[in-house]
Structures are given as C-alpha cells and as structure tokens.
Amino acid sequence: MAKKNIAPDTRVRVDTWDACVDFPIFDAKTRSLKKSVIGAAGGVIGANASNVVVVEALKNINIHLKHGDRVGLVGHNGAGKSTLLRLLSGIYEPTRGACRVQGRVAPVFDLGVGMDPEISGYENIIIRGMFLGMTRKEMLKKIDDIAEFTELGDYLQMPLRTYSTGMRVRIALGVVTSIDPEILILDEGIGAVDAEFMKKARGRLQALVERSGILVFASHSNEFLAQLCDRALWIDKGEVRMEGGIDEVVEAYEGPAAAAHVRKIMAEVKADDSTKASE
Ligand SMILES: Nc1ncnc2c1ncn2[C@@H]1O[C@H](COP(=O)(O)OP(=O)(O)OP(=O)(O)O)[C@@H](O)[C@H]1O
C-alpha cells in the first residue's frame, strides 16, 4: 500500500505506568488456597489484605504507544491479553498504577455490545456506528459503502440473529474501518471471518491504521498478527515478558518454526504492499 505523507499525530498516545488490574473474587474460599498459586494458564491467584481471593490479571504494565504503532499481544490462555485490551479501552480502571489514553478509541472485541440480534444488518450497521461515537446522519452516508464491503447482500435485511459469527464480524469490521478511530483495539474475534475476506479487510485495516493512529491486536493466530502488526508484546501471567518485532517475540514464545512462518507472511505482505504501491 502506498504510504501517504501524513504528519504523525503526536496527540494520539497510549501510556500505562505500573498499571495493575486485580479481580477480587468474593465467593472463593481463601482457606483452600494456602499460598499464592501459579498454574500453567491464567493470572496469579492470591489474597488481598482483607483475605479476599484476588486474581492478579495484570501486574506492573508499562507500555507507551504512539501514532503508527501496530502492536500484537501474544500469550497463553488467561495471560491477561483481554484484560489489557479492556484497560486500554477504558472499560477497566487500573487497581494500582495509571493508564492514560489520548484519542478516540474503537474497541472491536465484544461483538454483542452495540449490536441487536432482533434488528436487521442495515440497522445494526447504524447502531454499531453510533456506539462508536458517530451520528445516525453520518452513518447513513456511509451505509452503502459498508454494505458493499460486507458482501452480505440480501442478508442485510434479515435480523442479525440469523447471522453466523463470521457474518457479524464482517459488519463490525465494515463499520470500524469506515469511521476514523484514532486508536483501534481488536481481539481474536475478528479471526472468525474467512481467509479471503480477511485479505480484503487487512487492506482496509492497514489504511485505517496509517490514517489514524494506533492498533492493539490480541490473537493466537500468528498469521493475523504478522498481517496486521509490526511489533509484539508477550504477556505472561499478567506481565510483559518480552517486547520486540513480531518474529522475535513469536520465536521466543513458540520457537523457530513459528517464527519462520511469521517471516514468510511478513515478506508476502511486504511484496503485496509494494505491488499495490506501484499500481
Ligand atoms: N471478570 C473477571 N473476573 C475474575 N477474573 C477474571 C475476569 N476476567 C479475567 N479474569 C482472570 O484474569 C486473568 C487474565 O484473563 P484474560 O481474559 O485477560 O486472559 P487472555 O490472555 O485474554 O486469555 P485468552 O487467550 O484465553 O483469551 C485470568 O486468570 C482470568 O481468570
């Protein structure tokens, strides 16, 4: 894709300073937890000063993102990736430490939020856009373009409850890539679309990130990470274990074969981009 010379917006930033998120679990018994337990998956389980069981989902997170950063989050189940996305979206406040997000955030992870199963795809496009801060009038101007992008045809007149997960994701991606969020927060769920559609969406997502700022994307799919991001954070038991290029982090997390696959995809994306740039 041809890079446009747009001056980076220094106002758009994401910063966290020693941010922690604990979940108190009031109905768990501390007596059965003799000491802090570390299992293979999940955050550390401990107890707070009042002897209430707490899950330490995030611990001392320091991240500093600026315009143009495209960061992937990798890590085991329960490592804290979704909690971090929610912290950056303002859904969770840090229990300790601080988190400051400057810019318009569009979270695309809870496809249930801002969508109504009983109304049509068309109407859902409008309410999803309104959920992300657009007006009805602005959405009406964009609806034809979004409808065409989703390729859902007559299905757009059917109630959303008749859609598959991937069809819902098409609507969510169509809406989010048609508006101009400054900070885009995506998770795994977008992997529910088929490969061909993802290829199309990738172009729009990349254009969106170039136009408007920061992407944070949590995924177990190295393929999607390599397509959308250029840096990665390995989240492990609520902490940032490593930060670096996608291939370096995947190599440390999953080994050389996975890293080789990531490098192959990065090379394909680069070749694809230079073809488009010369067109
Ligand atoms: N609402 C909640 N209440 C209590 N504990 C929670 C809550 N949400 C997450 N946790 C705990 O916080 C830890 C981090 O969970 P999180 O969902 O952020 O992990 P993840 O890295 O996104 O995992 P996955 O890859 O499986 O989606 C886990 O131990 C989980 O049990």
Q: Note the pLDDT tens digit of each residue in 228-258.
A: 898 999 999 999 999 999 999 999 999 999 9
For the Cβ of 82 lying below 6 angstroms from any atom of ligand 1, the answer is yes
Cα of 5 vs centre of ligand 1, distance in Å, is 40
CATH hierarchy code of domain 109-179 = 1.10.8
Helix (H, G, I), strand (E, B) or coil at 72: strand
Identical fold between 1-104+183-279 and 109-179: no
Q: Does the structure show a pLDDT above 70 at 6?
A: no
Say what the pLDDT of residue 83 is. 94
Cα of 157 vs centre of ligand 1, distance in Å, is 36
Q: Indicate the top mutation candidate among 83, 187, 253 to test ligand 1's pocket, ranked by most ligand atoms within 8 A of CB.
A: 83
Give the pTM: 0.82
Using the atom order of ligand 1, give the atom closest to the CA of residue 85.
18
Residue having the nearest C-alpha atom to atom 27 of ligand 1: 77
CATH architecture, range 1-104+183-279? 3-Layer(aba) Sandwich (3.40)
For the Cβ of 42 lying below 6 angstroms from any atom of ligand 1, the answer is yes
Q: What pLDDT digit, counting tens, does each position of 35-53 carry?
A: 555 555 666 777 776 777 8
Using the atom order of ligand 1, give the atom closest to the CA of residue 188.
27
Cα of 182 vs centre of ligand 1, distance in Å, is 26
For the Cβ of 57 lying below 6 angstroms from any atom of ligand 1, the answer is yes
Cα of 42 vs centre of ligand 1, distance in Å, is 7
Q: What pLDDT digit, counting tens, does each position of 127-138 carry?
A: 988 888 889 999
Residues contacting 170, CB < 8 A, separation 6+: 149, 150, 151, 152, 193, 197
Would you call 135 exposed, middle or buried from its count of C-beta atoms within 10 A (0-12, 13-18, 19+)? exposed
Cα of 59 vs centre of ligand 1, distance in Å, is 13
Cα of 57 vs centre of ligand 1, distance in Å, is 6
Helix (H, G, I), strand (E, B) or coil at 9: coil
Is the reported ipTM for this assembly greater than 0.95? yes
Q: What percent of the chain has pLDDT over 70?
A: 86
Where is pLDDT greater, at 232 or 197? 232
Cα of 81 vs centre of ligand 1, distance in Å, is 8
For the Cβ of 79 lying below 6 angstroms from any atom of ligand 1, the answer is yes
b/e map 225-255, b = 16+ CB within 10 Å: bbbbbbbbbbbebbbbeeeebbbbbbbebee
Using the atom order of ligand 1, give the atom closest to the CA of residue 23.
4
Helix (H, G, I), strand (E, B) or coil at 116: coil
Domain segments of the chain as ranges: 1-104+183-279, 109-179
Residue having the nearest C-alpha atom to atom 18 of ligand 1: 80
How distant is the alpha carbon of residue 149 from its chain centre?
20
Banded pLDDT at 180 (limits 50, 70, 90): confident
